[in-house]
């Protein structure tokens, strides 16, 4: 069984953390992953740095540029992760834009992910139909899940289609804006959460974008299986360093 499915079947609500590989320092990647598991995180999204991250807010954009300036690239990331399964058992997902994956070679990238023990990918700018036509078989051959995103403007028909082809979870984007932690959700966002909940989708949902503290985490898990925190965690890394990971996670739950 894929580690993502196994985790989703556990009791309780999940906390997934996103961070940018190679930030704040080039060789922090594995250490951050290990410390996150030790702190009780359920799932980790490893951000593949890209020079033009259109969906990301300034915090993640800055971390991505810092990581690139530190020298991070796909080969280095794979090298940093080559022994990660000796120390980490929770699901690991690589999240990034399609361009670096395409440049690396999609089949080569997926094969490397499988060898290392990556459980899935989140590629926000890879169109679903293009994935189904060109890459689905490659992902399946390498035992990788591809998690799709929905947002407030996604039509019900599109959501139903995503639900019908999804494995693992659906990444439920909380707003139509770029990433970034907030202190609360608007009534429009709550209405959106309620609308999706009433659709009774088959695939579990995990909410991201705008989740950054205990309050917003507690709201999102009322409407989903769990929540993803990215910008707030990266900001904490920048301000307080890797040694602050445990205290940050404890502040959320």
- Calpha distance 58→238 (Å, rounded): 13
Q: Given the residues 28, 42, 56, 119, select the one marked as catalytic.
A: 56
Neighbours of 75 (CB within 10 A): 10
Catalytic site residue from 10, 28, 42, 45: 45
Residue 83, SS3?
A: coil
Contact at 8 Å (CB) between 172 and 203?
no
> At 227, is the secondary structure helix, strand, or coil?
strand
Strand-strand pairing, 170-173 and 149-150: parallel
Question: Does residue 229 sit in helix, strand or coil?
Answer: strand
Q: Nearest 5°: phi and psi at 135? A: -130, -10
State yes or no: is 45 an active-site residue: yes
State the Cα–Cα distance between residues 196 and 189, nearest whole angstrom: 11
Question: Is position 115 annotated as part of the catalytic site?
Answer: no
| Contact assessment for residue 192 and residue 221, using Cβ atoms and an 8 Å cutoff | no
Give the whole-angstrom CA distance, residue 192 versus residue 174. 8
By annotation, the residues acting in catalysis are 45, 56
């Amino acid at each position: 069984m894929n580690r993502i499915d196994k985790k989703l079947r556990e009791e309780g609500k999940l906390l997934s953390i996103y961070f940018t590989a190679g930030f704040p320092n080039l060789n922090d990647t594995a250490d951050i992953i290990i410390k996150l598991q030790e702190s009780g995180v359920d799932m980790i999204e490893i951000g593949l740095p890209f020079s033009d991250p259109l969906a990301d807010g300034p915090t993640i954009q800055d971390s991505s540029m810092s990581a690139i300036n530190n020298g991070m690239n796909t080969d280095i990331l794979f090298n940093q992760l080559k022994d990660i399964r000796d120390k980490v058992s929770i699901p690991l997902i690589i999240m990034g834009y399609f361009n670096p994956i395409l440049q690396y070679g999609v089949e080569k990238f997926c094969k490397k992910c499988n060898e290392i023990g990556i459980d899935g990918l989140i590629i926000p700018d890879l169109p679903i139909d293009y994935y189904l036509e060109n890459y689905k078989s490659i992902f399946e051959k390498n035992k990788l899940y591809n998690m799709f995103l929905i947002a407030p403007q996604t039509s019900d028909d599109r959501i139903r289609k995503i639900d019908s082809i999804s494995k693992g979870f659906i990444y439920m984007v909380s707003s139509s804006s770029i990433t970034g932690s907030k202190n609360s959700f608007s009534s429009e966002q709550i209405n959106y959460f309620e609308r999706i909940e009433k659709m009774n989708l088959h695939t579990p949902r995990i909410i991201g974008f705008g989740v950054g503290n205990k309050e917003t985490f507690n709201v999102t898990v009322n409407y989903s299986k769990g929540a993803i925190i990215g910008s707030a965690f990266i900001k904490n890394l920048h301000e307080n360093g890797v040694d602050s990971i445990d205290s940050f996670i404890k502040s959320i739950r």
